[in-house]
Structure formats: structure tokens, C-alpha cells
Structure 1
């Protein structure tokens, strides 16, 4: 019986959307962004072949503090090398996006648990639906802000880690006698899917209506609308019926006798 009851609860849009927010979209958002690591490779072919490095691997990862990412590049003067750093810090947008994802995951888990095991108490207590409504609105807004910020940061990360841009940071590549090239760039397929955070905004914003229906605001409005409709219907059923018109004799009911000449 408990399993049947749980299944019936999860069929409600209120609970079903929470399950999607919890098990699919929230986990997907912070896993694709927070677990990302990429690599790019460039080559420096010095005029002095002994100083060349034809395969330099540069690794970077979340939270994308690229200014802390460094690699050893040849100077093309004997065998001396120097440390080169990437540019840019996109950790604030990335960490903000992942933080919203984690908190959304935890809240969706807690809300789903309440719906499944304490739905009656949830509906009886006016404070629970009210808090749920406010939190849902806040998360909807935060998903929009964090997803927009991360989409912009992701675009900047792609530019900063482009092999052609990284070559410009290597002093030896500024000498026309040396040849620099890009071997391969990072794979962005996994990180691109993190931009689906906008789907979380759509999902949470769409759930606002179903949460609002559980609040006293909606229930009070429904009662007022029902009372107004009943009152309007009563005015039509209580119209007085006038019988006097049937009791009064008509002037055409008396037929005159024949006229005497």
C-alpha cells in the first residue's frame, strides 16, 4: 500500500517535476561543470632543433582559474625554458553555477521526501506551501542568473584556451624564425552540455504554478471565485414570479351580444 501511495504521489505534477529537478537536471548540471578537465597541445619548433618542443600538453580544469595554470615553454636559446601562465579567472561564475546546482539538488531531494511521506501535513500546514513557493521562485531566478553568467564565462574560457591564443603567450613564438603550431584543442562536448542549466530555469519556473496552487493565496482566490459564482447563480433562481397577469380579466374576454336594430 505504501508503494502504491508513493507512486500516486509521484504522478502529481508537483512531485514529478521535483523528481526531475533532483535526479536529472541538478546532478547533470554540477557534474558536467564541476567534473570537467581539459587539455590542449601546442608545438614550438625552434630554429635550433635541439631546443624545440613539438608536443606541449597544457591541462586545466574546474574552477577555471586559468591564471594559475602554467607550462614549460622553450625559449629557443640553447636548452633554456621558461614558465608561461594562461590568462583569465572564471572561477566565480563556475563556482556560482555549481553551488546553485548543489543546493537545488538538496532542496529537491528534501521537497520530494516531504511530498511522498508527509503530503497531508504539507497541505494542512499553510506555512509549508508558502515556504516552498518562495524557495521555488528564488531558485528559478538564481538558475537564470547563474546559467547566464556561466554561459558567458564558458565562452571566455574557450577563447582563453584556444591553442592559437595560447601561442601568443609564448615569447619564442614572437620570433619569426621559430615556428609554432596547435596540435589539438580541448574537447568541449561535456562542458557544452552544462549550459543546459537554462533548462533548470524553465523547469523551476514552470513548477511555480503547481506550488502556488498549494498555497492559501490560490485557495483563497478559488473560494472567492466560487462564492461569487454561487451568488450570481442565486440571483437568477430567486426571480419573483408574477401571477397577477393571469388573474386579471382581459378586456377581450367579454364578447358583446348582438346589436339590435
Structure 2
């Protein structure tokens, strides 16, 4: 059996290779839309009978919000001295896990496409290649489920912490009767929402692709060969 590189573009025209290209593309979008994010919310503090105050809450990947300084120590707001305050919550573990899975999926797609396009004759002539590909595809489908669910929850934490309710919970001044706090300018979270959507989209694509990879394994071929032919009776012995 020849094991050298032989360029063959036909696998890309088949579901096995075409879906892998789609997986590569969606993985790029998943980590690119959240990996470099930064945003800022503007908080307006309306003081009863006094001039209004303005604060800004800047946050970025990996969203360790509890390290984001909202008010410096012994600052004066509404003629009151307020202690140091930070945002609440930490979504770093969920978003870093999400990005790690997306990057690994991106790299695996590149390796798989290299095998499909240059070593498909070796891939289909061996049992190890398709079986390993199937196990990895199923594993990534599971990882997409876990990391997308975790990141969706982490994204909600970011939204809650940087919203009006989250600011009120961390800034004691906002609980006083003559003071009203409100987020008046919101950072766009569109790219973060897109990343979460593409996480679940990757789950669907990888789970669907597992079927096409499974058809390349000997498990599927043995099942097909073992299936009885309908309508065929026992063979007759000639006299």
C-alpha cells in the first residue's frame, strides 16, 4: 500500500470533507467573536439636589469582573465618601474553556482536512484512521455541548453584573433613597451573543458529522454486511 502524499480534492465534494470545512469555519467564528472582546458601560448617578456623577465600567476577555475597579477607595460621590468597589462575578473559566475547545477544534479540522486531501487512500485502507476520527468527532461534539452551555451561563453573568441591577448590588451608594443609579450607555454584546450561538451551532454540526465519519468505520461496514437480505429464502441443495 502506498502511503505517500497524493492530492485529491474529491473528498471536499463529499459530506465527510465538506462538513469538516464548515466545522473549521464555525470554530474560527466561535473563538474570534469573544477572544478579543472589550467593552464599557457608562453608569449615571443621579444625586438628589446635587450635580450628577458618571462612572464607567470597562470589561474585557476573559471577564474577571471581580477585578474590574468601579470606584476607587475613598472617592466622593454625591457629597459622600464611598469605599472601593468592584464589579461582581468571574466568567473566566467558562469563556477560556470555550475558546480552548474552539481552538482545538480548529486545529483538528486542519489536520483532518490534510489527511482527507492528501492521504485519503491510507485513511480508507486502514481501520485506525476512521475509528480514531469518529471517536474524536464524537468527543468534540460532547465538548461543544459542555463548553457552550458553560459560556452561555457565563455570558449571562457578564450581562447581569454590568447591568443596572448588578451595579446597584455592588455600589452601596445606589441603595440610598435620594440617589438613583442607572446604566445609561451599554457596550455592544453582539459579538459575544454570536459566539454563544456558534457554540451550539458547532454542537449540531459535529454531532451530525459523527454519522458520516461512522460510515467510514468497520463498525458500520460489519453491520451492513451482517444484515440479512429481505425476501431471500434458504439456499436449495441441487439433487
Q: TM-score range by the shorter chain?
A: 0.7 to 0.9
After superposition, the Cα gap between the structure-2 partners of 1:65 and 1:163, relative to the gap in structure 1 and judged at 3 Å, is same
Unaligned runs of 5+ in 2: 1-5
* Larger RCO (CA under 8 A, 6+ residues apart): 2
How far apart are residue 163 of structure 1 and its match?
2.7
Shift of residue 80, structure 1, vs aligned partner: 5.5
Structure 2 matches for 1:13-24, cutoff 5 A?
A: 13-22=15-24, 24=25
Deviation by residue 1:65-108 (Cα, 9 ceiling, x = unmatched): 11011123643375866431001111111111111111001001
After superposition, residues 1-261 of structure 1 pair within 5 angstroms as 5-6=8-9, 8-22=10-24, 24-46=25-47, 49=50, 52-53=52-53, 55-72=54-71, 74-76=75-77, 82-196=83-197, 197-225=199-227, 228-229=228-229, 232=232, 235=235, 238=236
TM-score, normalised on structure 2?
0.86
- Please say which structure displays the higher CA radius of gyration: 1
Mapped partners of 2:37, 2:122: distance in 1: 42
Q: Bigger CA drift: 134-143 or 182-191?
A: 182-191
The answer to whether the Cα contact below 8 Å between 2:148 and 2:200 also exists between their aligned partners in 1 is: yes
Q: Distance in 2 between matches of 1:183 and 1:77?
A: 18
- Structure 1 unmatched ranges of 5 or more: 242-261
In 2: Cα distance, 1:102 partner to 1:143 partner? 12
RMSD: 2.6
Q: Deviations over 1:154-191 (max 9, x none)?
A: 12221111034213422332333334332112322111
Name the SS of the counterpart of 1:39 in structure 2: strand
Report the Cα distance in structure 1 between the residues aligned to 2:76 and 2:46, rounded to whole angstroms. Answer: 11
The verdict on how the C-alpha distance between 1:231 and 1:165 changes in structure 2, with shifts beyond 3 A counting, is: closer
TM-score normalized with structure 1 length = 0.79
Deviations 1:30-69 (A, max 9, x none): 111212222111122446847x53x322110111111011
